[in-house]
Amino acid sequence: MTHPLTQRPAWQALAAHFDQIHQVHLRTLFADDPQRGQRLTAEAAGLFLDYSKHRITDETLRLLLALAEECDLRGRIDAMFRGDKINITENRAVLHVALRAPAGQHIDVDGVDVVPDVHAVLDKMAGFARLVRGGQWLGYTGRPIRNVVNIGIGGSDLGPVMAYEALRHYSARTLTFRFVSNVDGTDFAEATHDLDPAETLFIVASKTFTTQETMANAHTARAWTLAALHDEAAIARHFVAVSTNAAKVGEFGIDTANMFGFWDWVGGRYSMDSAIGLSTMIAVGPENFHALLAGFHAMDEHFRTAPFERNLPALLGLLTVWYNGFFDAQTVAVLPYDQYLKRFPAYLQQLTMESNGKRVTLAGAAIDDYQTSPIYWGEPGTNGQHSFYQLIHQGVKLIPCDFIGFGHSLNPLGNHHDLLMSNVFAQAEALAFGKSTEQVLAEGTPAWLAPHRTFPGNRPSNVILAERLTPEILGALVALYEHSVFVQGAIWDINPFDQWGVELGKALANRITPELTSEAAPELSHDSSTNALIRRYRALRGRA
C-alpha cells in the first residue's frame, strides 16, 4: 500500500535517526573518519561532487537511499525517460531529455519517435545561426545583422540569458546580444536605445505566443522596426519566432518559414536546449551548442543508469530533502565562483521553485506535515562573502550551500584564479568547522568579545568542481540541477512540471487593466485595499 511520505518506514527511520545525530558536529564526523573527505565524493560528466561536509553518517545515506526506493524513484526516472505522461495535471510527457538525445536514439511520444524532429529543428537552427554569424543574413536595407534581441519571459528568457552570460567567452564578439523580458517599457527602451533597427534581429521566444509581456514587447519591437524601416516587408528580415504555436506566429506577421518549433512535452523552464536556445546558438555557434547538448546528455545518462549511491542528482536531491524535511532548513544558497555564472542562481530559482513550489500531492491531497521546495538564492563568489555570508556563518538559520568552482579560469590573469578558489575552499571549511570560543580566547580575545568572534560551524555544503567552464560542463551542471529537482519532487510526491500557481495573478491583472485605463471611473468591486490602490493610481495618472 502507498503511504503518505511521513508514514513511510524510511521517513520514520530518518526522523528517529535525526534525533540521534542532529547535534553531532562535523568536527566529530571528520575526526572519526580520516577518509571521509575522499570517501563522500562522486563524479560524473566532468563534475566532481564533494558532499563530505554534510551532517550525515553512512546510516543517514543508507536511510535516504531507502527512502528513494520506497518512493519508487527508479520507476519515476524510467517513466520520464520512456515518455510517459508524468505531467498528469496537463496530461503531457516530460521529455527535455529528448532535446539532447543523440541522433539515432529512439524516444516515443504517443507511438511517434520524437528524436528525428528534435534534430531537424537543431539543423534548421544551425543553418540560420551560421547565416547570422557569417554576416549573410541581411536586414531589410541589405546591411548584415549585428544585434540580436531575444524577447521572452520566464522559461523563454532565464535560460537564454543565463546561457549567454555563462558562455560569453565562446560567443561571437562581433554581435551584440540583448534580452528583453519585463513588460516594464524600460526594459525594451534600455535594451534598444543604442541599436540601429536596420541591423537588429528580434527573436520572439514564446512557447504559447500568447504571453502578455512577450506579446507587448514584440508589438513594440515591431513598431520600433517599422518606424525606422517603413515597410511591412522588413518584418520578415528582422523577426524570427521560437514557438509551438504556428497559427499565432503567423497572425503576428512572422513568416512561419522563420519559425523554430518545439513541443508541448518541453516545459518552459526546461527549454533552454530546445529552439528557445536559438540566441545561445547564434552567440556560440552550432558546434558549441552541440557540445552543450552533449554535456546535458552525459548527465542524463548518468542519472538514468548510475546506482543512487553514486548518482550526483540523486545525492544532491536527497541531501536537500534531508535538510528541508528534518532540519527545517528553508533555503539553499547557490554560490558559483565564476563571474560567467552570475545569472545561474536566478535561472535556478525558476527551475527549482516553479517546479517544486507545490502544496498538494500527485493525488491532490494537501501537504501539511512536510516541506516542499526550499527557496534557492545566491550570488557569485567572492562578492557574496562581503555581503550576506555573515548570516550563513553566524546567523541562527541553517543554510546549506552549493559552492561551484573550476580548475582553470577562462581569463587567467596573474594569481586571480588561485585567490578566487582559495576562497571556495576556505568558506566551505569555515562553515563546516567554524572557530570555537576556546580558540578565540586562546588568541587573546577578551572574554566579553569572544562570543561575537565565535563561529559555531556545523554548516553544511556541497563543493562542485570541474576542470573549466565549457559548454559541455554548463550542460552537465544544468542537467544536474534539473534532475535533482526531479528527485526532490519524486520524494515529495508532487508534480514538478506544472505551474498553476502563476495563473491567478495573470487572470486578476487582465481584469484590472481596463479598470486602470478606462475613460470613465470604473465600478470597482475588489476588496477595499485593491479598490483604493486603483483609485490612487488613476489619480496619479490624472484619470477620473
Residue positions annotated with a catalytic role = 354, 386, 506
Give 139 or 268: the residue with its C-beta nearer to ligand G6Q: 268
In total, the chain counts a number of residues equal to 544
Q: Which of 46, 83, 139, 155 binds ligand G6Q (CB under 6 A)?
A: 155
- Residue 111 CA: distances (Å) to CA of 108, 267, 479: 5, 20, 26
Q: How far is the CB of 270 from ligand G6Q (least distance, A)?
A: 7
Q: If you ran DSSP here, which 8-state letter would residue 314 be given?
A: H
356 binds ligand G6Q (CB under 6 A): no
H or E segment at 255? Answer: none
354 binds ligand G6Q (CB under 6 A): yes
87 binds ligand G6Q (CB under 6 A): no
Q: Which of 52, 156, 274, 352 binds ligand G6Q (CB under 6 A)?
A: 156
The interaxial angle of helices 115-133 and 286-305, nearest 10 deg, is 150
154 binds ligand G6Q (CB under 6 A): yes
Stretch that binds ligand G6Q, among 74-82, 99-107, 147-155, 232-240 (CB under 6 A): 147-155
> 210: which 3 cell numbers?
500568447
CA 116 to chain centre: 27
Strand partners, 180: 151
Q: Which of 150, 211, 427, 462 binds ligand G6Q (CB under 6 A)?
A: 211
- Count of residues engaged in binding ligand G6Q, rule: CB under 6 A: 14
Q: Which of 166, 372, 499, 515 binds ligand G6Q (CB under 6 A)?
A: 499
187 binds ligand G6Q (CB under 6 A): no
Q: What order of strands is seen across the sheet that includes strand 461-466?
A: 41-44, 47-50, 461-466, 401-406, 331-336, 375-377
- Residue 199 CA: distances (Å) to CA of 137, 139, 142, 168, 217: 10, 6, 9, 21, 18
Tell whether the torsion through CA atoms of 423, 426, 430 and 431 is positive or negative.
Answer: positive
Give 348 or 465: the residue with its C-beta nearer to ligand G6Q: 348
Q: How far is the CB of 195 from ligand G6Q (least distance, A)?
A: 23
Q: Is 260 exposed, middle or buried (0-12, 13-18, 19+ CB in 10 A)?
A: buried
Q: How far is the CB of 215 from ligand G6Q (least distance, A)?
A: 8
Q: Which of 41, 208, 445, 530 binds ligand G6Q (CB under 6 A)?
A: 208
475 binds ligand G6Q (CB under 6 A): no
3-state SS class at 26? helix
Q: Which of 61, 153, 229, 334 binds ligand G6Q (CB under 6 A)?
A: 153
Stretch that binds ligand G6Q, among 6-14, 267-275, 475-483, 509-517 (CB under 6 A): 267-275
Q: Which of 207, 302, 417, 483 binds ligand G6Q (CB under 6 A)?
A: 207
Alpha helices, DSSP H, located in 33-144: 36-39, 58-70, 73-82, 96-99, 115-133
Q: How far is the CB of 266 from ligand G6Q (least distance, A)?
A: 9
Q: Which residue, chain included where needed, has cell 504571453?
A: 211
Q: If you ran DSSP here, which 8-state letter would residue 493 be given?
A: T
> 154: which 3 cell numbers?
520566464
Give 269 or 538: the residue with its C-beta nearer to ligand G6Q: 269
Q: Which of 46, 267, 374, 496 binds ligand G6Q (CB under 6 A)?
A: 267
Q: Which of 171, 192, 200, 206 binds ligand G6Q (CB under 6 A)?
A: 206
CB 77 within 8 A of CB 97: no
What backbone torsions phi and psi does residue 231 show, to the nearest 5 degrees?
Answer: -150, 125
Q: How far is the CB of 158 from ligand G6Q (least distance, A)?
A: 8
Give 158 or 335: the residue with its C-beta nearer to ligand G6Q: 158
Residue nearest to ligand G6Q according to CB distances in the complex: 154
Q: How far is the CB of 344 from ligand G6Q (least distance, A)?
A: 17
Hey, what amino acid is at 98? A
Q: How far is the CB of 220 from ligand G6Q (least distance, A)?
A: 16
462 binds ligand G6Q (CB under 6 A): no
Q: How far is the CB of 352 from ligand G6Q (least distance, A)?
A: 12
H or E segment at 463? Answer: strand 461-466
273 binds ligand G6Q (CB under 6 A): no
Stretch that binds ligand G6Q, among 151-159, 292-300, 313-321, 455-463 (CB under 6 A): 151-159
Q: How far is the CB of 355 from ligand G6Q (least distance, A)?
A: 8
H or E segment at 400? Answer: none
User: Whose CA is closest to 323, among 118, 462, 144, 514?
Assistant: 462
159 binds ligand G6Q (CB under 6 A): no
Is the bond into 382 cis (omega within 30 degrees of 0)?
yes
User: Whose CA is closest to 498, among 91, 190, 69?
Assistant: 91
479, 482, 483, 489 alpha-carbon torsion, rounded to 10° = 180
- The binding site for ligand G6Q (CB under 6 A) comprises 153-156, 206-208, 211, 214, 267-269, 354, 499
